[in-house]
Each structure stands twice: as structure tokens, then as C-alpha cells.
Amino acid sequence: MRIAIAQDGNRVSEHFGHCEGYAIFDVEDSIIYRRDDLPNPGHEPGRLPVFLAGHGVNLIIAGGMGPRAVQLFNGSGIQVLLGISGNTDYVAQDYIAGRLSPGKSSCNHEEGDECRGHH
């Protein structure tokens, strides 16, 4: 499994599309065996799902993301977990251990509306 966590510094980013980059964790048998950092290639509609799918990502973790982006990722077979905050390394470990509870997207949008927080 390959997990991408939107990050700003070493913290989970509140907004997926505008983050500094992505911490990519490769996981096998509940063990992280590799971590890479990918810079954000830029926020353009439809670009990030293709970019991250091309890197073999199966799951995205972020503080928030607009509903259209969630649909695009789900359409590419990529699961999305939102409402997450904290240190990226701890969040990855918590997810693998089954301790991560998704919350409400930090984008502050109603279902069907665009993300109003940072656009």
C-alpha cells in the first residue's frame, strides 16, 4: 500500500491542493518500509489525481479537500481520509495501527459546494 499525506513542514496540511508537498509512505504487512517526499506540482483542476495515481498512491490523508477533488480521487480508485491533523509520521503510524479517526474536512464546505477556505 502507498499512502500520501499532504504536508506543510512536518504537519498534515489543512488544504490538500495548496500544501507544500506529499509525504509518501510505502507500507507492507503493517510496516512502513520507505518514506519519500514529493513536492506539490501545482494546484490545477484534475492534475493532482493523475499525478498521485501515477506514483501508485492508494490512500490520501489531509486536513481538507474540496468535494470535486474527492470525487476525482475516488474515480481513480484512491481512498481519501479528511479531517486529519498532526505530525505526518505519527499520522501514518496511527493509520496503520487502526487508530486514525477521520473527522470533518477542514475546508469548511457543505456537500456539493466548492471548498471556500483557500480557493
Domain at 36, CATH number: 3.30.420.130
Q: Is residue 105 part of a domain?
A: no
Q: Give the CA dihedral 48, 50, 56, 60, nearest 10 degrees.
A: 30
Q: What is the DSSP letter of 70?
A: H
Please give, one letter per residue, the 3-state secondary structure of the chain. CEEEEEEECCEECCCHHHCCEEEEEEEECCEEEEEEEEECCCCCCCHHHHHHHHCCCCEEECCCCCHHHHHHHHHCCCEEECCCCCEHHHHHHHHHCCCCCCCCCCCCCCCCCCCCCCC
Q: Is residue 45 part of a domain?
A: yes
Predicted pLDDT at 108: 54
Predicted pLDDT at 21: 97
Q: Is residue 114 part of a domain?
A: no
Predicted pLDDT at 110: 44
**pTM of structure:** 0.88
Q: What is the DSSP letter of 104?
A: -
Tens digit of pLDDT at every position of the chain (119 positions): 999 999 999 999 998 989 999 999 999 999 999 999 999 998 787 889 889 999 999 999 999 998 988 999 999 899 999 999 999 999 999 999 999 988 877 665 444 444 444 33
Domain that holds residue 87: 2-96
Burial class (CB in 10 A: 0-12, 13-18, 19+), 86: middle
Q: Is residue 108 part of a domain?
A: no
Q: Is residue 22 part of a domain?
A: yes
Q: Which residues contact 52 (CB under 8 A, 6 or more apart)?
A: 4, 22, 60, 73, 78
